[in-house]
Amino acid sequence: MQAVSRSNFDLSSSPYMPPSQSNNQLPQQFSFTVEAKGLRLDQFLALQFPAISLTRLRTAIKQGDARLNGRTTFSGWIVQVGDQITIQLDPDAPTSAMPEKIPLEVLFEDEDLLIVNKPVGLLSHPSHKEKSGTLMNAIAYHLLHSPKRPTSVPRPILLHRLDRDTSGVIALAKTERANRIVSKAFRERRVKKHYLALVHGVVMEETGTIDAPIGHNPQTWPRWGVYETGDASQTNFTVKQRFAQHTLMELEPLTGRTHQLRIHCTHIGHPIVGDQVYKGEEKTGLQSIPGFRLKHQLLHAHLLAFRHPSTGEEMRFIAPMPTAMVEAIQQLSHG
C-alpha cells in the first residue's frame, strides 16, 4: 500500500491561450437506473457527472438529449427508484473553467490522477452564478504549467465533490480510462473516505454507527434532514480526542447522501462546530471556542483510498488539516 503525502509545485505566471475548439468527439449515450428516490432529474445527473455544470445538463434535458423511461421531461422532475435515464452528451467537451493563479496544494500527481487538498471556501466547479475563483480554475492553471498535463482528455475530470466549506482530499482523473475505473469504484463503494470533524458536546461512545435515513423536504429549512421516508444512510464514527465541551471525531460515510455527515452529527446531538445550517434544536446552548468566530464548519476530508487505475496498487491520500481547525484543537487542548 502506498501512502502519499503532499508535495509543492512552483506555478509560473505564463499567459494562457484557451483552446479555440473542442475535441470534436461525437456525443456519447449514457444509461442509469435510479436507486434512490427524492432527487430532481438535474440533481441526479449532476451526481453522475460531477465535472459538468448544471447549466449544461439542464440544457441537455430541455433539448431532449436526456430521457426518463424513454420520454422527454423537465429538469425538476422528481425521479423514482427503478426509473431508467439516458442522456447523450460529450463528457470531455472543454470546461468553462478558465485558468486562474489560485494557490493549489497538490498531494499527488501522475499520468492518471491528480489529487489535491481543497481549502475551505473554494467551490469545486464553476456554476451558472460563479464562473471564476473555483477549484477547477486553479487546476486549469496548474496543468498549464505542469509537465504531466492530460493527454487523452481536454481537462481533468472531477471524480467527486466537496461542499464549498468542507476542506480536504479531492481526486481528479486525467484519462478516460482512469475516470471510468475510479468512478466505478466510487459507485460500488470501494473507495474509502475518512473525515475529521470537531463537534459540540462530549461523545461518550468510543465507536459506533449512525443509521438514520436522509430525505428531502422542500417545505422546510434546511431542506435535507432525517426522515423515516428518506433513503438509508449510515456513518461510522470513532472518537479521536475529547475536550471539556467538544469532541474530535473521525467519520466514515458508508453511503453518499447530501450533507450526510453534517446531518448525522446533528441527529445524534453533536452538530459540527461552525456549521451555519445544521445547528440542531439547541442552537443557543452550543459552546463556542474562545477567540474563534467561525463562518464555516470544521469538517475536513482527511483520507481517500482506492486502487490505482493502472497499477492496481492500493493508494492512500492524506490531507493535513486546515489552519483554522488545527488552531481550534490547540485552543481546546490548552483550555
Instruction: State pLDDT tens for residues 270-314.
Output: 999 999 899 865 554 566 787 777 878 999 999 999 999 999 999
What letter does residue 231 receive in the DSSP assignment?
B
**Which parts of the chain fold into alpha helices (H)?**
41-48, 54-62, 135-144, 176-187, 260-267, 323-333
Could you tell me the residue ranges of all domains in the chain? 28-88, 193-300+327-333
pLDDT reported for residue 90: 80
Pairing between strand 157-158 and 207-211? Answer: unpaired
pLDDT digits (tens, 9 = 90+) for 87-124: 998 876 655 567 889 999 999 999 999 999 999 999 88
Phi, psi of 41 (to 5 degrees): -60, -45
Q: Is pLDDT at 23 greater than 90 in this prediction? A: no
Contacts of 65 (CB under 8 A, 6+ apart): 27, 87, 88, 89
pLDDT at 42: 87
Tens digit of pLDDT for each residue in 164-206?
999 999 999 988 789 889 999 998 999 999 999 999 999 999 9
Instruction: From the candidates 42, 83, 163, 231, give the one annotated as an active-site residue.
Output: 163
Which CATH number describes the domain made up of 28-88?
A: 3.10.290.10
Mean pLDDT of 198-219: 95
Residue 195 has a pLDDT of 98
Buried b (16+ CB within 10 A) or exposed e, 61-88: beeebbbbeeeebebeeebeeebebebe
Q: Residue length, the chain?
A: 335
Q: What single-letter amino acid sits at 38?
A: G
Asked whether the beta carbons of 104 and 138 are under 8 A apart, the reply is: yes
Average pLDDT, the chain: 84
How high is the pLDDT of residue 17?
31
Distance, in Å, from the CA atom of 144 to the CA atom of 14, rounded to the nearest integer, reads 9
* pLDDT > 70: percent of the chain: 83
Instruction: Please state, in angstroms and rounded to a whole number, the distance separating the CA atoms of residues 186 and 272.
Output: 25
Q: How confident is the model at residue 8 (pLDDT cuts 50, 70, 90)?
A: very low
Q: Is the per-residue pLDDT at 254 higher than 60?
A: yes
163 as an active site residue: the answer is: yes
* pLDDT at position 143: 83
Q: Which fold has domain 193-300+327-333?
A: Pseudouridine synthase (3.30.2350)
pTM for this entry: 0.72
